[in-house]
Amino acid sequence: MVRLISLKITSAGIDVWLCKTLFLCPLKALPNECSSGGLSAILRCDDFSSLFPPTTKVKCMSDAGFFLDAVYISGARSLRRMYFGVVNTQGLQNTLPRTCTSHLDATSCFFPQNIINQVKSPLFILNSAFDSWQIESSIAPPSADPSGSWHNCSSSFKCNASQMQFLEAERKDTWFPGNSQPGEDKGIAVAVGDWYFERAKK
């Protein structure tokens, strides 16, 4: 099994590695990373899959990498500004999926919510339903909450009814695309294992 995520590492490593040099390709490959690496797992899943022959079963897993292009409480978008800088500083415009950039700007295509429906390889997204970092950074950052009314909600998830209503609406709009499957009452390890090994439901 292969556990790599960086596109540069996979391109350089696998090129001179088993598949093309020794013709010993793995039967399965699973790029699996967390946070910004989890974002890469989503963005580069199909690129990673294309490095292998059809005999290799490639699946991708993203852990806490589903960053939201969310409108925060003041009506602006904080992560969009940051991602615009990342995309332009690193010149990523031509590396993002063309199925997305053909109809959206490059910054939008850096957000998973705009590309997951176009990823062809099997993809498992593991994310907290309510991510405290994203609440504080993309929904209620201090700059948008000068009164500090969201502080308890973002830092310790002690949210009032109106805050919960706002978060629930945001969660439903972004976490559950049409082709997603509802979670089940099982541990994370079991859920991932069932998906990866295609174990039938009992």
Q: What is the pLDDT of residues 34-50, one digit of tens each?
A: 888 899 999 999 988 88
pLDDT, tens digit (0-9, with 9 covering 90-100), for 161-201? 999 888 887 766 655 555 555 556 678 888 888 999 998 76
Say how far apart CA 189 and CA 181 lie, in whole Å.
17
DSSP 143: G
Q: What are the extents of the domains in the chain?
A: 7-196
Residue 56, number of CB atoms within 10 A of its CB: 15
pLDDT range class, residue 132, cuts 50, 70, 90: confident
Whole-structure pTM value: 0.78
Shortest CA distance to 139 belongs to which of 175, 176, 170, 113? 170
Region class of 47: left (phi > 0), else alpha (psi between -120 and 50), else beta:
alpha
Which tokens is 182 given? 């509802």
| CA 46 – CA 59 distance, rounded (Å) | 9
If you ran DSSP here, which 8-state letter would residue 2 be given?
Answer: B
Handedness of CA 99, 47, 181, 158 (dihedral sign): negative
pLDDT tens per residue across span 140-166: 888 888 899 998 988 888 999 999 888
